[in-house]
Amino acid sequence: MITLLGGIVLLIVGYFTYGRYIEKNFSIDPNRKTPAEALKDGYDFVPMSKSKNAIIELLNIAGTGPIFGPIMGALYGPVAYLWIVIGCIFAGGVHDYMVGMISLRNNGAHLPELASKYLGKPVKHVVNIFAMLLLMLVGTVFVTSPANLISSITPDWLTIGVITVLIFVYYLISTVLPIDKAMGKVYPWFGAILIISTIAIGVSLLTGGHALPNLTMNTLQNFHPKGTPIFPALFFTISCGALSGFHATQAPMVSRTSTNEREGRFTFYGMMVSEGIIAMIWAAASMALFDGQTLSQMIDAGTPSAVVNQVSVMLLGNVFGTLAILGVIVLPISSGLSAFRSLRTILADYLHIKQDTLKKILMVTVPLYVISFVLTKVDFNMLWRYFNWANQVTAVIALLVATRYLYLKNKNYIVTLVPGSFILYACVVYILSEPIGFRMGLTTVTYIVGLLLTLGILGVFWKSGVNQKETLSPDSALINDQLPINTSTAK
């Protein structure tokens, strides 16, 4: 109990201290006109209130990540708490804030456009591929996971196939609506369900006499029943609750609806902290209610949705447990919708297809849903592994963009370079060792080769940054946050 409560307290303290420092380091300008005001189009660029922006950001970035990830991360034992707290404060919160604010300074540009501006035009194509791959995988995973959850509380005649089709229909309708209608009206209700259900799980966990595992010197070890090493697997298993590249694809959406830079810390950093709290509660519940072997068997039997179902019913009973499951369901549905919406706009920007008519919107959207529907037939665990790697590679790219941004402005860039370098090393080792990559296994050679490759990538990144800075003029757009209006984005 002490570790759970202490971790939540640290997350909140981190928001008010380190989050404030990150904001100060960025140097906000409350009087600067935002994209929502300068490019208002009634569709994607729409001024909305601070509270609506915050709840949209939370639901966009959450998905099943801060629940499914911590459930699987709980297999490692209390050490999972460390990554959630440290990762959220020093990596995830910084990542989300910097991407959101840099986008806000650049007409609400998406990550590929930002990468092109700060890392070079050739990088834009690589980032576009990773961003679109990630969003497609996210959208598919966030169709599969709620479909499984819904099927667990509905009659047998409502099959997973039917539920999947219904979710796609909802996505299609919502994708073509203006953002203030598709999300601004519905998400506050979704948010209320999520917050109430999460609080109910947390309170029941604390007051129900459950033995909550604490992080001590004796428990600071790997408890995974299959012996899976902590590094790098844990840092891919728990992503959305600590650091997630998917968030870099979502923050620009909200940067297009924000009306003041002062709101950024609450909207971006604050909602990441909220996601960390959600992750702490679900990790604690999984560890408290199940031993590692049982938890592993439940996950292997299908998806972590089975654990969600059991935790909710065991802690809250059948009626309120079902309501809690509904709270979990709204997460992937809302994030899936935002993933496809972001995917549509990124693809449209890349292909220069102006999204100003329903026909053009559907021309981009429908093929994406067809591809995603085919992917729903692929094994969930396989999809999750590919999603995890693409997710963290995207986080690396976003942190390197933020590092270059701060470096060019003579700000403290260490705050983004350190977490970016760490997760880059994890990504390299992961792809070298895993079956989805080079199958080298986790050996000393793998760690050494991974380190050398990481240092090589960082060396190229640093050299290009030095060269870039030497050629800049005082009135350069890279220093003064100026970006020509992207006419394919604004209607």
**Which CATH number applies to 2-480?**
1.20.1740.10
Note whether 281 and 36 are within 8 A (CB).
Answer: no
pLDDT tens-digit profile, the chain (491 residues):
799 999 999 999 999 999 999 999 999 999 999 999 999 888 788 999 999 899 889 887 876 667 888 999 999 999 999 999 999 999 999 999 999 999 999 999 989 889 999 998 888 888 888 888 888 887 887 788 788 778 877 888 888 889 888 888 888 877 777 766 666 677 777 777 778 888 888 999 998 888 888 999 888 999 999 999 999 999 998 988 899 998 998 899 899 999 999 999 999 999 999 999 999 999 999 999 998 898 888 887 766 777 888 888 888 888 778 777 777 777 677 777 778 888 888 888 888 888 777 788 888 888 998 998 888 887 766 776 777 888 899 999 999 999 999 999 999 999 999 999 999 999 999 999 988 789 999 999 999 999 999 999 999 999 999 999 988 877 677 777 754 444 344 33
Tokens found for residue 29:
């300008």
Residue 331, amino acid:
L
Angle (deg, nearest 10), helices 18-26 and 93-105: 20
Neighbours of 432 (CB within 10 A): 21
Cα dihedral 198/201/206/212 (nearest 10): -100
Q: Which alpha helices (H) appear in 106-153, and where do they start and end? A: 111-119, 121-151
Domain ranges of the chain: 2-480
> Which amino acid is present at 358?
L
Q: Which residue has the tokens 């039917």?
A: 162
Residue 106 tokens, joined? 């650049």
Selection from 52, 20, 25 nearest residue 270 by Cα = 20
Output the six-digit token pair for 489: 């984005």
Comparing CA positions, the residue from 352, 430, 353 lying closest to residue 390 is 430
**Structure-derived torsion over alpha carbons of residues 229, 144, 109, 263, reported in degrees to the nearest 10:** -80
* pTM score: 0.88
Any residues with CB less than 8 A from the CB of 104 and at least 6 apart, and which?
A: 34, 35, 255, 258, 261, 264
Closest alpha carbon to 353 in 483, 250, 489, 249? 489
Give dist(CA 391, CA 428) in Å, integer. 13
Task: At 274, list the tokens.
Answer: 């909220």
